[in-house]
């Protein structure tokens, strides 16, 4: 019998993280690039596909794809083009290869998806996984975070990614659809808001969305007393300093109101005897959890609903993939046979909410 390698994958819009039973932990920027012509292919040493940070840094020579942004995996109702499907498949195959599984190994993987991922989105994951994973289970990203940290009893989990903010209500059992919420105000939306605010205040400044993402990651805060955000942007080619402190604060704070609304909805529809306990056991994860003072801002916004307590995960980059691996290792063998990736993909993916999701 071949060796079994277990993988936990957090399939993110901007970054995809992998934790494997082989001891590998790594993160890849969720970008795939294809050389534009034979000159570009020569530049990359004959490689046909360029991944991650290298692809972004060489994007002018590539047909660059960020396949999870706006695709069916992240956006309900979206339809994937053939190019998007191909790029998702290539990205997932690359991520799986990083686990360095011994040749001939059987690969079982748990992959995190948005809390309210559509049937089409789950089917897209199964289709992409069919050629590189023997059996795959799709689970909600916030549930993976909670499972990895053993926050499974009367807990509200917030997982803030680039494309979506996912929330999950946990009460000692597998979460059901009514226990989960997703909204679209997340990292990408903050970037777009920041771009709009800067254009309004500093119309002469030149910048790219990648530049703004770097500014946000360095200065992001929802504290009224945040450090000054002084950045350099060119004006007609000349590097110029700008103070974008107010713009960064306003852009980052846009995530608070919809998150509070989703939290309160999950609390209000929970057993009233346990609402206070759940409100005081909120777990904040995902890349967006690194926005300074976000946990405190959420606690302050919850005051009108009776208060709350927020704990921020220590390892936001790997909390989802660590939890997914833990799920994989705890899953009985018979479950893996049921969720055979190639069979599910060729059958058209998930036929209903229970076919491939925990």
Shared-domain flag, residues 213 and 308: no
d(CA 185, CA 223): 19
d(CA 182, CA 167): 6
In this structure, how many other beta carbons lie within 10 angstroms of the beta carbon of residue 253? 19
Shared-domain flag, residues 159 and 293: yes
Residue given tokens 């399939």 in the structure block: 11
Q: What is the pTM of this model?
A: 0.85
Shared-domain flag, residues 178 and 213: no
Contact indicator for 291, 221 with CB cutoff of 8 Å: yes
Answer yes or no: is 268 within a domain.
Answer: yes
The domain tally of the chain equals 3
Shared-domain flag, residues 223 and 273: no
Write down the pLDDT at residue 308. Answer: 92
d(CA 117, CA 139): 10
Q: Mean pLDDT across the chain, nearest whole number?
A: 89
Answer yes or no: is 78 within a domain.
Answer: no
Q: What's the token pair of residue 188?
A: 């990408």
Residue 121 C-alpha from the chain's centroid: 14
Residue where a domain stops, chosen among 202, 221, 253: 253
Answer yes or no: is 76 within a domain.
Answer: no
Region class of 68: left (phi > 0), else alpha (psi between -120 and 50), else beta: alpha
Task: Give the residue-averaged pLDDT of 194-213.
Answer: 95
pLDDT tens column, 264-283: 999 999 999 999 999 999 99
Shared-domain flag, residues 195 and 59: no
Shared-domain flag, residues 264 and 207: no
Shared-domain flag, residues 45 and 194: no
pLDDT tens column, 309-358: 999 999 899 999 999 999 999 988 888 876 665 444 443 444 443 334 45
Range of the structural domain that residue 181 is part of: 151-185+255-312
Shared-domain flag, residues 176 and 193: no
Write down the pLDDT at residue 338. Answer: 63
pLDDT tens column, 63-111: 999 998 877 777 777 788 899 999 999 999 999 999 999 999 999 999 9
Answer yes or no: is 112 within a domain.
Answer: no
Answer yes or no: is 350 within a domain.
Answer: no
| CATH number (domain holding residue 260) | 3.30.420.40
Shared-domain flag, residues 265 and 174: yes
In this structure, how many other beta carbons lie within 10 angstroms of the beta carbon of residue 77? 8
pLDDT tens column, 6-46: 999 999 889 999 999 999 999 999 999 999 999 999 999 99
H/E run at residue 74: none
Angle between helices 187-201 and 245-253 (to 10 degrees): 140
Contact indicator for 222, 191 with CB cutoff of 8 Å: no
Answer yes or no: is 332 within a domain.
Answer: no
Write down the pLDDT at residue 189. Answer: 95
Answer yes or no: is 47 within a domain.
Answer: yes
Write down the pLDDT at residue 349. Answer: 41
Shared-domain flag, residues 268 and 171: yes
Shared-domain flag, residues 162 and 261: yes
Contact indicator for 346, 319 with CB cutoff of 8 Å: no
Residue where a domain stops, chosen among 203, 229, 253: 253
Shared-domain flag, residues 298 and 181: yes
Confidence of residue 172 (pLDDT cuts 50, 70, 90): confident
pLDDT tens column, 123-151: 889 999 998 999 999 988 889 999 999 98
Write down the pLDDT at residue 71. Answer: 77
Answer yes or no: is 77 within a domain.
Answer: no
């Amino acid at each position: 019998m071949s060796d079994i390698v277990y993988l936990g994958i957090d399939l993110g819009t901007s970054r995809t993280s992998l934790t494997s039973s082989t001891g590998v932990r790594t993160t890849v920027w969720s970008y795939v690039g294809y050389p534009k012509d034979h000159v570009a292919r020569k530049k990359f040493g004959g490689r046909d596909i360029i991944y991650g940070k290298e692809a972004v840094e060489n994007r002018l020579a590539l047909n660059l794809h960020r396949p999870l942004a706006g695709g069916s995996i992240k956006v309900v109702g979206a339809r994937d083009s053939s190019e998007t499907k191909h790029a998702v498949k290539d990205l997932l195959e690359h991520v799986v290869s990083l686990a360095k599984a011994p040749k001939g190994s059987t690969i079982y993987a748990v992959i995190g998806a948005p809390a309210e991922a559509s049937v089409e989105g789950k089917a897209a994951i199964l289709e992409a996984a069919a050629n590189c994973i023997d059996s795959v289970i799709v689970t909600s990203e916030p549930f993976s975070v909670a499972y990895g940290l053993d926050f499974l009893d009367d807990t509200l989990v917030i997982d803030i990614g680039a494309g979506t903010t996912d929330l999950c209500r946990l009460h000692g059992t597998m979460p059901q659809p009514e226990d989960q919420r997703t909204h679209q105000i997340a990292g990408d939306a903050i970037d777009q808001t920041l771009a709009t605010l800067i254009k309004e205040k500093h119309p002469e400044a030149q910048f790219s969305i990648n530049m703004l993402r770097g500014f946000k990651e360095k200065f992001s805060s929802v504290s009224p007393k945040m450090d000054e955000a002084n950045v350099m942007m060119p004006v007609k080619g000349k590097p110029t300093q700008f103070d974008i402190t107010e713009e960064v604060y306003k852009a980052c704070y846009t995530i608070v109101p919809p998150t509070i609304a989703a939290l309160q909805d999950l609390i209000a529809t929970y057993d009233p005897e346990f609402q206070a306990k759940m409100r005081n056991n909120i777990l904040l994860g995902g890349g967006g959890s690194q926005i300074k003072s976000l946990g405190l801002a959420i606690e302050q916004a919850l005051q009108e609903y009776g208060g709350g307590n927020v704990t921020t995960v220590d390892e936001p980059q790997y909390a989802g993939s660590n939890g997914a691996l833990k799920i994989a290792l705890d899953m009985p063998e018979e479950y893996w046979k049921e969720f055979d990736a190639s069979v599910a993909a060729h059958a058209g993916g998930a036929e209903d909410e229970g076919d491939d999701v925990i």
